[in-house]
Amino acid sequence: MTARVTAPVVYAMKGSGKRIVCLTAYDVTSAAIASEAGVDVVLVGDSLGNTVLGYDSTLPVTVDEVCHHLRAVRRAVNGPLLVADMPFGSYNECVPDGVRNAVRLMKDGAEAVKLEGDYPDVCAALVKAGIPVMAHVGFTPQSVHLFGGHRVQGKGDGANQVLAVAKRMEQAGAFAVVVELVPAEFAALLTAELTMPTIGIGAGPHCDGEIQVFHDVMGLSDRVYRHARAFTNGRSSFKRAAKAYAVAVRGGSFPGPENSA
Ligand code: KIV
């Protein structure tokens, strides 16, 4: 039987010497690949807006859309902790909204939810309802317009603000925190100051773990971002395969007699 990663298991990984490996997934294929590869955490990120729905930010993503992809991912994840992102607007207005929307995600198979920014009241209410919460600080993509673009956070005076938010979320019961697009030295300080594990993206090598977007790791994105690394050339090898398929069909070498019922 595959050992199941739970939120308390992730929390206990801090200081254990084992780094926490997190990867996003959006459908049954990406989820099976991540799960079979043995990652610790699979996140149905609202990055699905960019990676699979073609939006130019995460802002339009709805709870219905996350639930739709979550149900597919749920069918293939066996072992890793399954976390679902709370999309923009699903927790920002009031605590009851946050609880209602997180409950929907849990009913569709999530084992924890992630929310961006300074929402200790929502976090505490979710924990009270039995829902583990992953926090997200630094550059939080749902606030891209407030930041004026994809800007590094946690520099100068901003460092104290990010640290304070992370501490408030920790006190409210978050079991881990994603730290996005901050200087590596600041991520090291956050990691030392917090008792919950830090999970970096664009935050250098000193966090307790790392999270990346499936399409970036697989080389499926149309560019390689500075915070990412493509571990294979998915996009170009898929394109080569699609071209070879077209050549084979047009040239009559596929399908052959062996490809019939
Ligand atoms: O939506 C997402 O995929 C994320 C991670 C990359 C941190 O929030």
**Residues 198, 169 share a domain:** yes
Whether ligand 1 lies within 6 angstroms of the CB of 213 is answered as yes
- 8-state DSSP, 46: T
Measure 117 CA to ligand 1 centroid, in angstroms: 13
**Residues 255, 129 share a domain:** no
Q: Is residue 2 a part of any domain in this protein?
A: no
CATH number, domain of 127, equals 3.20.20.60
**Residues 257, 209 share a domain:** no
**Residues 100, 48 share a domain:** yes
pTM beyond 0.85, yes or no:
yes
- 8-state DSSP, 257: G
Q: Is residue 245 a part of any domain in this protein?
A: yes
Burial of 180 (0-12, 13-18, 19+ CB in 10 A): buried
Whether ligand 1 lies within 6 angstroms of the CB of 178 is answered as yes
Measure 95 CA to ligand 1 centroid, in angstroms: 22
Whether ligand 1 lies within 6 angstroms of the CB of 197 is answered as no
Whether ligand 1 lies within 6 angstroms of the CB of 84 is answered as no
For 241, 246, 260, the CA distances from 256, given in Å and listed in that order, are: 17, 14, 8
What average pLDDT does the structure give for the chain? 97
- Per-residue pLDDT of 76-130, as tens digits, reads 999 999 999 999 999 999 999 999 999 999 999 999 999 999 999 999 999 999 9
Total domain count, the chain: 2
Domain limits for position 243: 234-261
Whether ligand 1 lies within 6 angstroms of the CB of 111 is answered as no
**Residues 253, 151 share a domain:** no
- Across the range 41-52, mean pLDDT stands at 98
**Residues 49, 133 share a domain:** yes
Whose alpha carbon is nearest atom 5 of ligand 1?
Answer: 45
Ligand 1 atom having least distance to the Cα of 58: 1
Q: Is residue 185 a part of any domain in this protein?
A: yes
Q: Is residue 256 a part of any domain in this protein?
A: yes
Q: Is residue 242 a part of any domain in this protein?
A: yes
**Residues 148, 44 share a domain:** yes
Whether the per-residue pLDDT at 1 is higher than 70: the answer is no
**Residues 143, 253 share a domain:** no
Give the max Cα distance, the chain.
70
CB contact set of 147 (below 8 Å; sequence gap of 6+) = 139, 153
CB contact set of 241 (below 8 Å; sequence gap of 6+) = none
Q: How much is the pLDDT for 224? A: 87
DSSP 122-181: HHHHHHHTT--EEEEEES-GGGHHHHTSS---S-TTHHHHHHHHHHHHHHTT-SEEEEES
Q: Is residue 60 a part of any domain in this protein?
A: yes
- Per-residue pLDDT of 67-87, as tens digits, reads 999 999 999 999 999 999 999
Q: Catalytic residue at 180?
A: yes
**Residues 245, 225 share a domain:** no
Q: How much is the pLDDT for 2? A: 62
**Residues 130, 44 share a domain:** yes
Catalytic residue among 111, 116, 170, 180: 180
Q: Are 81 and 9 in contact, with CB atoms under 8 Å apart?
A: yes
Q: Are 198 and 209 in contact, with CB atoms under 8 Å apart?
A: yes
Whether ligand 1 lies within 6 angstroms of the CB of 201 is answered as yes
First vs last Cα of the chain: how many Å apart? 37
Measure 57 CA to ligand 1 centroid, in angstroms: 12
Whose alpha carbon is nearest atom 3 of ligand 1?
Answer: 45
Measure 235 CA to ligand 1 centroid, in angstroms: 20
Q: Is residue 1 a part of any domain in this protein?
A: no
- Per-residue pLDDT of 154-175, as tens digits, reads 999 999 999 999 999 999 999 9
Amino acid at 147: F
Whose alpha carbon is nearest atom 2 of ligand 1?
Answer: 45
Q: How much is the pLDDT for 110? A: 98
Q: Is residue 12 a part of any domain in this protein?
A: yes
**Residues 261, 177 share a domain:** no
**Residues 170, 87 share a domain:** yes
Q: How confident is the model at residue 223 (pLDDT cuts 50, 70, 90)?
A: confident
